[in-house]
Amino acid sequence: MRAAVRPKQQKKPLRHTVVTLAFFAIFVYFSYHLIHGDSGYFANKGLQKKLVVAEQKRAQKKSDREKLENRVKLLRPDSLDLDMLDERARVILGFMKPQERVLTDASAK
């Protein structure tokens, strides 16, 4: 004769469900922080946008600096440009010759 078959215990399906839910909760937790965390996807995109803006500002500042360095180089004693010296003296000191006329552009500022 056959041995008596015992009915399955109800704890195994409940335990399996709890373990599955626990792993799903852990998965959701890490997925959320992967996207929205301090080093997540959206934070990375924000940093990339800030980097692009900072690089553009740096390029502009570098261009401005090179222009200023060129003007300063023209005023150094070893490579003095007389036209530049004359221009700066007229602007700073307000000198002009009697036969000259000064035209100003009001919209330049």
User: Binning pLDDT at 50, 70 and 90, where does residue 3 land?
Assistant: low
Q: What is the pTM of this model?
A: 0.53
- How is the chain split into domains, by residue range? 11-98
Closest CA to 71 of 87, 55, 92, 93: 87
The residues, ordered by sequence, that sit 6+ positions from 89 with a Cβ below 8 Å of its Cβ are 95
Supply the DSSP symbol for 92: H
pLDDT digits (tens, 9 = 90+) for 70-97: 888 877 878 777 887 788 888 888 777 7
Q: How many whole angstroms separate alpha carbon 84 and alpha carbon 91?
A: 11
Q: How many whole angstroms separate alpha carbon 35 and alpha carbon 20?
A: 23
The CA radius of gyration of the chain, in Å to the nearest whole number, is 38
Q: What is the pLDDT of residue 107?
A: 79
Q: What is the chain's mean pLDDT, rounded? A: 85
pLDDT digits (tens, 9 = 90+) for 30-55: 999 999 988 899 999 999 999 999 99
Q: How many whole angstroms separate alpha carbon 37 and alpha carbon 46?
A: 12
The residues, ordered by sequence, that sit 6+ positions from 70 with a Cβ below 8 Å of its Cβ are none
Task: State how far the alpha carbon of 10 is from the alpha carbons of 5, 23, 55, 99, in Å.
Answer: 15, 21, 63, 110
